[in-house]
A and B are shown apart, each in its own frame.
Chain A
Amino acid sequence: MIGIVNYGAGNLQSVKNSLDFLSIPNIVINKSEEIKNCDRLILPGVGAFGPAMKKLNKLGFSQEIKNFVGQKKPILGICLGMQLLFEVSEELGSHQGLGLIKGKVLPLNKKVKDLPIPHIGWNNIIMKKSSPLLKNIEDGSCFYFNHSFYCEPVDELAVTADADYYIKISSVVEKDNVYGCQFHPEKSQSRGLTLLDNFQKLI
């Protein structure tokens, strides 16, 4: 059973629709104690880092998610959900994240020149290593991105795939059982659905 964390800010309905379409059992998690009924979690994401983290803390999700990850069960953060996995973000001030992956979340506009910001649209991913999450997805596949901030992991080996947008953007990260994608698989047509299906099949 995949639990989709409802912390008020995400567009979790789209994630749910994709899982329903794939006939993957899933449940929207409204209360932190429900997390223990799941064997994997998705942290969806639309929104701003600060308010999202505040909500996760207030609703008791932060601690439950950390416990969940401590039990070696897989979690997938999507877009903002991936950014929340990191230690700290500089989105409108400085905010502590969940700290499940070492590194920072930084604004694109400090580094990216001559390209529009936010980074919106379909971009190719460049695979750095193989991963069960990207099984049956060819290198160079297009996914839908929509973000103004990007993740900078301390450990380069945590980057499974990049995307090129003036700088290299970490588009898929993984650290043991913690996974994140900066793009929206639930909005990336068939390849996105493949990724979600792969997540369901992770051992």
Chain B
Amino acid sequence: MIKIRLIPVLYIKNGLIVRSENFSYHQNIGNVINEASRYNEWNVDELIYIDISREKCYDLRRDDLYIKSHDSIEKIISEIAKVCFMPLTIGGGVRNINDISYRIKNGADKITLNTGAFEHPKLISQAANKFGSQCVVISVDYKIIDNQPIVFTNFGQKNTKTTAFSWIKICENLGAGEIFLNSIDRDGRANGYDIDTISRVVESTKLPVVACGGAGGLYDFVNLAKKVNISAIAAGNIFHFTELSYPRAKILLKKEKLNFR
């Protein structure tokens, strides 16, 4: 039987791992490659890296790798892939088929599309035709407005005035393979997952849904897994700041008889 995945999400800004809060506050917390190898040792189910650099400039400090060029995310990916024998999803700044090609070539298994897909929905079908639907993840950032989850793009700043449900339906029809659903309101707030919206989204699509945003304690994972028929649960900050949080979360989820690896 398929297992529910528990996925750490790492945000890269200018080549460093940062903590994110409400999509705006970013605190540097570590080196990209070291973090990847730590998560590999924890035997995590999958890793998601989102590059949120505004200006394309990378600095892998402490590894003595100083790289400053537009395409250096590929160098970062290839270094991560050398220490990671688990699925690797890479997102952020993906705007065309070439962006996807070189991420995959360097070791990404899946890519996430967000603003790039919204501005050019055709990119979804192009990517699905070339690489298969299974590697096209649509990242959906939303805020609740009048009780509806509304999709925001451009680092959560641009209101698309489109509901998550209708956007996801469009993506599904264009050949997307997975939905990464992220609550902007709950980003970095540690106030629990948005169970209501997640559950409505899961019911509205046949695509696997990865839910993110709001994990504050390990019971938030249990709560979500018990209430929603979810494919994967993702979180960022909790895995960075809470000692051994990943292995402890897995032990707890199994103790609760939930279907995790």
Contacts and interface: CB of A to CB of B under 8 A. Distances in A.
Nearest to B230: A116
Contacts of A184: 87, 109
Nearest to B44: A189
A17 B107 contact: yes
B131 interface: yes
B243 to A, nearest CB: 22
Contacts of A154: none
A200 interface: no
Contact of A187 (B85, B130, B206, B232): B85
B5 interface: yes
Interface stretch (A34-42, A66-74, A139-147, A171-179): A139-147
A203 interface: no
A99 interface: no
Contacts of A14: 81, 88, 107, 109
Interface string B38-55: 001001011000000000
Contact of A46 (B81, B86, B104): B104
B87 A144 contact: yes
A9, A116, A164, A165: which has the most chain B beta carbons within 10 Å? A116
Contacts of A80: 132
Contacts of B78: 13
Contacts of A92: 129
Interface in A177-203: 184, 186-190, 192-193
A153 interface: no
Contact of B109 (A18, A46, A189, A193): A46
A9 B127 CA distance: 12
B46, B85, B88: which has the most chain A beta carbons within 10 Å? B85
B108 A11 contact: yes
B57 interface: no
Contacts of B40: 189
A71 to B, nearest CB: 30
Interface of A: 9, 11, 13-14, 17-18, 20-21, 46-48, 51, 80, 92, 109, 115-124, 142, 144-148, 164-165, 184, 186-190, 192-193
27 contacts: A9-B130, A13-B81, A14-B81, A14-B88, A14-B109, A20-B82, A21-B85, A47-B130, A47-B131, A51-B129, A116-B231, A117-B206, A117-B207, A118-B133, A118-B208, A120-B134, A120-B178, A120-B231, A121-B3, A121-B5, A121-B208, A121-B231, A142-B3, A145-B2, A146-B87, A147-B132, A193-B85
Given A46-B132, A92-B129, A145-B2, 15 more contacts: A14-B88, A17-B81, A48-B128, A118-B208, A121-B3, A121-B5, A121-B45, A121-B208, A122-B45, A144-B86, A146-B109, A184-B87, A187-B88, A189-B43, A192-B85
